[in-house]
Structure 1
Amino acid sequence: MKTLNDFDFKGKIVLLRSDLNSDVQNKKLLKSERISEASITIKELKKKKARVVVLAHQGRPGDEEFISLKQHCKQLNKYVRVKFVEDIIGKRAEREIKKLKDGEAILLENVRNLKEEFDSNSNKLTEFFSKNCEIYVNDAFSVCHRAQASILLPKYIVNSCAGRILEREVNALKKLKLSKTLYILGGAKPEDNIKLLGKNKVLSCGLFGQVCLINKGKKLGEQENYLRSRKIFIKIPREKLKNVETPLDFAVNIKGKRKEIPVEGFPNDNEIFDIGKITQKKYIAEIKKAKAIYMKGPAGDCGKKQFSNGTFAILKAIAGSKAFSVIGGGHLSDAIKSSKVNVKKFGHISLSGGALLNYIAGEKLPGLEVLGIK
């Protein structure tokens, strides 16, 4: 894997594909860990006297989160000096790129404004950047599973490498492949987890744990109605559930208070918000035996303090274990902060979603393949 260590960047125009995609509410950008992370590679390139052109996206066309990167640039400037350019492949962008001096950086407008971004073949976007930039750096691991123009630019810019964030992600995930990994799969998107079911042991929790339990023949009553009405429930082939452990008890909300009910006490009229202490004890015992752990998604509704117990207990157990661990997803990153567990106790905390899952599942990622990374 080629990295920033393999090139002399002084005086070179460097196209840096970053990941700035963040949460947005009412068209306002929220404080984002992805933006502070992205600044790491930008700072290093500036220090190496590169002329940095940052390319990134936000949301998808038609979504509420599809906005300009102007706010992102403002937030980015809290960590590193970058100038915003309200253009991508037009004459203004070309002028601003040519004006760059050593150690300066610009951020171009949201690349998903261009229909060419969604075309994996040579087009105006690939032609523009191959003509105006000398080195390409991919630091956006989270979109490496997408065959999009800005991700496949190494086809057209020969001098290409991984940025520090992408390098860190790949190195951490390679460690997971060295051991038989214990998967702890939760969160609110059960369909995302299906591709990981198979040979490895899985501790299921969150809505995914409930879906697995229903697929094993258990009725959950009101909670099952909720899962089916919201189309969260999915059918999982029986053979896929062979190595999946399911919760033994759940926490429900009764008159504003947490009450734990064993699985045998279902079906009933209660909504489920967390795993209970019996499940926590069972899962913690498995964590202690593991050599490598991947956790995706919280075990319960961490937005409600009394239902964060399950997630916090599992995170603390992982932090206290000898296993190499990868924690994935923004919600878990927030939970770690709330739990006050020392982040240094985890092997790697990833902010990637689909790309991370695909890599762990052994699928090919176009953005890595084009860089020669396996």
Structure 2
Amino acid sequence: MKLGFLTLDDVDVKGKRVLLRVDINSPLDKETLEITDDTRIKEHSRTIKELMDKGAKTIILAHQGQKGKWDFTPLAQHASVLSQILGYKVTFVPSVIGPIVPEAINEIDEGDVIMLDNVRNLDDEAVNKSPEEHAESSIVKFLTPYADIFVNDAFSAAHRSHASIVGFTVTLPSYAGRVMERELEALSRATENPEKPCTYIIGGAKPKGSLDVIDHVLSSGIADHVLIGGVVAILFLHAHGVDVGSANLRILEDTGFMKLVNKAEMLLREHKDAIVLPQDVAVGKDGERLEVNTSDLPVEFPIRDIGSKTIEEYSNLLNSSSTVVINGPMGMYEVEAFEVGTREVFKAASKCRGFTLVGGGHSSAAVKRFGLADSFSYVSSAGGALLNFLAGKKLPAVEALRAAAKRHP
């Protein structure tokens, strides 16, 4: 148990009824509600295929969207997509705790797979409680008698202490699935005594979680440098005393990031030599790219990317790094005029001679867009769970699996 919990290597699943929690929450087309990216389904299909090959009777638990949101849908199409990936029929059961569920479970043969409906249909599912409290939740009390073991493969939801994530670890012998195991092994390699020099690239449009990561990796001596891009760069430039202009101040105000200025100022004071800010940026002028030195700011246009001088500086630092962790693009990589910063910095990171990790949905989408995915040691599509892990925070799902390993050795 090198990570402190049990895995599929520690159990014989043949003939056992396996409750498998996955995270196949997928991007949907807003008009058709069809799945537009099946990456997460493909990732979890490996764990599912292993359980099938080993003769398990697999019962999949999953969610899509949040109740009340437009992307909150049943999981029928998820079961269909998974069936296509596996080349084997995955039976969809349009209920979670209704009377048809026990009937469906009792009909499963060894190697078969069924998928229950969206667990977030249940009012007591998406509530943060302790594993012991969730052991009394409706889904755990209903399904526990119909299962032999619980396998949690939903790393992307590991930061949530929800019923189907932590509750079964109290009532059933519990194990980590292969996605959970791989993600934690990769993240541990990037955070536990990484080979130096270690460089983190922090960008994107979520400064709150990003600031927690920067604080942790620099205060703990994990990273030697943090290279800043995206909206995070606008925040830090403003905190550094640069007049970023009214258009960029509006970006910070509209996104609620102005309240993070004090923390950004504190991080710059405490780690001024380790936090590397852009020396030039690319702004959008009538849809065109215009590069401006940060010393020449403000301009009336929004910052959309880092500039050429910054790309060169960041690339040089990455060329001398032995460990690189990426979380967030350098700018609006989806727009051709502003993709260059993300493309070139990620390309430089991919050439690192040591361990390289890409995390977050936008970062993983960017490396795929630029044909770089196979050049990195590990690419994760996790968002909040990854940020929490990199920030040194405990993940409820992981802690629950560790407690279960002691409870059901």
- TM-score (normalizing by structure 2): 0.87
**Bigger mean CA deviation after superposition, 267-276 or 195-204:** 195-204
124 and 231 in structure 1: CA distance in 2 versus 1, 3 angstrom threshold: closer
| 8 Å Cα contact 1:219/1:267 also seen in 2 | yes
Counterpart for residue 117 of structure 1: 125
Q: Aligned equivalents of 1:84 and 1:313: distance in 2?
A: 44
1:266 aligns with one of 297, 300, 308: 297
Q: Matches of 2:228 and 2:238 in 1, distance apart?
A: 12
Q: Is the 8 A contact 1:212 1:236 kept in 2?
A: no
1:46·1:105 contact (CA, 8 Å) conserved in 2? Answer: yes
Evaluate the alpha carbon distance shift between residue 154 and residue 226 of structure 1 in structure 2; reply closer, same or farther with a 3 A threshold. Answer: closer
Is 1:126–1:156's contact at 8 Å kept on the other side of the alignment? Answer: no
Partner of 2:174: 160
Taking every aligned residue pair, what percent have the same amino acid on both sides? 36
Point out where structure 2 has 5 or more consecutive residues left out of the alignment. none
Which SS does the other structure have where 2:205 is aligned? Answer: coil
Matched, 1:16 2:43: no
Q: Which runs of 4+ in 1 moved over 6 A?
A: none
Deviation at 1:154, TM superposition (A): 4.2
Tell whether the 8 Å contact from 2:346 to 2:367 is kept in structure 1 after alignment: yes
Partner of 2:231: 207
2:92 aligns with 84
Alignment-derived partner of residue 240 in structure 2: 216
Residue 143 (structure 1) shift:
0.9
User: Quick one: distance in 2 between partners of 1:175 and 1:154?
Assistant: 28
Q: Distance in 2 between matches of 1:92 and 1:110?
A: 15
Q: TM-score of the superposition, structure 1-length normalised?
A: 0.95
Conservation of the 8 A alpha-carbon contact between 2:323 and 2:352? no
Alignment of 1:345-364 (within 5 A): 345-364=375-394
Q: 2-side partners of 1:304 and 1:98: how far apart?
A: 51
- How far apart, in 2, do the equivalents of 1:37 and 1:352 lie? 12
2:83 and 2:36 mapped to 1: Cα distance? 15
Contact map agreement 2:324 2:352 (CA 8 A) in 1: no
Instruction: Give the 3-state SS of the residue equivalent to 2:304 in structure 1.
Output: strand
In the TM superposition, residue 282 of structure 1 has moved relative to its aligned partner by 1.0
Q: Amino acid of the residue matched to residue 191 of structure 1? A: K
- Within 5 Å, give how 1:248-327 maps onto structure 2: 248-327=279-358
Q: Is the 8 A contact 2:281 2:293 kept in 1?
A: yes
1: CA distance, partners of 2:120 / 2:168: 19
CA distance in 2, matches of 1:116, 1:224: 40
What is the Cα deviation at residue 63 of structure 1?
1.1
1:45-64 equivalent positions in 2, closer than 5 A? 45-64=51-70
The residue number in structure 2 matching 1:105 is 113
User: The residue matched to 2:84 in structure 1 has which SS?
Assistant: coil
Shift of 1:369: 0.8
Mapped partners of 2:250, 2:94: distance in 1: 48
Q: Which of 350-359 and 230-239 deviates more?
A: 230-239
- Equivalent position of 1:336 in the other structure: 367
1:240 counterpart residue number: 267
**Match of residue 184 from structure 2:** 170
Contact 1:184/1:202 (<8 A) preserved? yes
- Residue in 2 that maps onto 1:39: 45
Distance 1:281 1:250 in 2: 12
In 2, Cα distance between equivalents of 1:196 and 1:236: 16
The code of the aligned residue for 1:239 comes to M
Q: CA RMSD in A?
A: 1.7
For residue 318 of structure 1, report the CA deviation from its aligned partner.
1.0
Q: List runs of 5+ in structure 1 lacking aligned partners.
A: none
Name the amino acid aligned to 1:302.
Answer: Y
Mapped to 2, the partners of 1:197 and 1:316 lie a distance apart of 22
What is the CA–CA distance in structure 2 between the aligned matches of 1:83 and 1:29, rounded to whole Å? 18
Give the letter aligned to residue 295 of structure 1: I
Q: Give the drift of 1:58.
A: 0.8
Q: CA deviation at 1:224?
A: 2.2
Deviations 1:61-87 (A, max 9, x none): 111111111121121121123111001
Secondary structure of 1:269's counterpart equals coil
Q: Which moved more, 1:150-159 or 1:265-274?
A: 150-159
